[in-house]
Amino acid sequence: MFESIKLKLRKAAKAVLSHRILYAALSLSHIWAAISTGKFEVYAPMAILYFLLAR
C-alpha cells in the first residue's frame, strides 16, 4: 500500500517538474520575442505570467 502511494507521489512530482520546465521555457521564449520584435506590451505580460507559473 505504501509503495503505491510513493509511486503516485513520485509521478506527481515528475509532472510538476516537467510543467515548471515548460513554463520556464515559455517565459524565456516570450522574453526573447519581446526583445527581438520590440513589442514589449504584447509579449511581456505573458512572459511574466509564465515566469510566475514556473515558480
Burial of 30 (0-12, 13-18, 19+ CB in 10 A): buried
Write out the chain's pLDDT in tens, 55 residues: 667 888 888 888 888 888 889 989 999 999 999 999 999 999 999 999 999 988 8
Spans of all domains in the chain: 18-55
Spatial separation of the C-alpha atoms in residues 10 and 40, rounded to whole Å:
38
pTM score: 0.72
| Cβ-defined contacts of 37-46 (< 8 Å, 24+) | none
**Which residue has 506590451 as its cell numbers?**
41
Contacts of 30 (CB under 8 A, 6+ apart): 43, 44, 46, 47, 50
